[in-house]
Structure 1
Amino acid sequence: MGFGIIIIRILFITCMVFIIGYVFGGFSKKSALTSITKVAAILVIILFVATNMLFMINRFEYFRGKGHRRQCDTVYSRGKHT
């Protein structure tokens, strides 16, 4: 799941570069870059939702006891350790 989040973040950054290039740069002068920017704007919304879904699934699994920290064999006891 960690690799998927990295890929989504890279795509998100790429889309933001196209959108910022359209707004502040010369991307609006070329028709090919304009169409890529429109696709990037839609993709940013989809990637934002997908990233939030992955993070929430990860958090829900942790609270249900399926997280990595609860699968270890070490037993910790509360109290004073000597």
Structure 2
Amino acid sequence: DAQNRNTDLQRRLAAGSRVRVEGRCSVPTRTETASTRRVGNAATVELSPGAGQNVLNIRAGIISDQEKLKYLQEYVRTQCE
């Protein structure tokens, strides 16, 4: 499940493994205005260990919130019929 995957990623990061994130960045050139910026292709971004841990902590919070929402939706579905 997602929580186990996140815990595994946190352990790997703590053990010194790298965290790889694919991202896009809108970078204007000198001749482009803000409205004509190009979006680059997906590129690899390497995070510092601290930033990687922050990303995984945020991910863990999202996973936890999603599980709570599923529980509450099911509760409402069964109790409010």
What is the TM-score with the length of structure 1 in the denominator?
0.50
User: Structure 1, residues 28-77: CA drift from partner, whole Å, max 9, x if none?
Assistant: xx464735443222111011011101111101110112xxxxxxxxxxxx
Segments of structure 1 that go 5 or more residues without pairing to the other structure are 1-9, 66-82
Q: How does 1:26-37 map to 2 (within 5 A)?
A: 26-27=16-17, 30=18, 32=46, 34=49, 35-37=51-53
Q: 1:39, 1:20 → 2: CA distance? A: 13
Greater helix content: 1
The structure with more radius of gyration: 1
For CA contacts below 8 A with separation 6 or more, give which structure has more relative contact order: 2
Change (3 A) 1:40 1:18: same
Look up the match of 1:7: none
Change (3 A) 1:44 1:37: same
Segments of structure 2 that go 5 or more residues without pairing to the other structure are 20-45
What root-mean-square deviation, in Å, do the aligned CA atoms of Structure 1 and Structure 2 show?
A: 2.2
What is the TM-score with the length of structure 2 in the denominator?
0.50
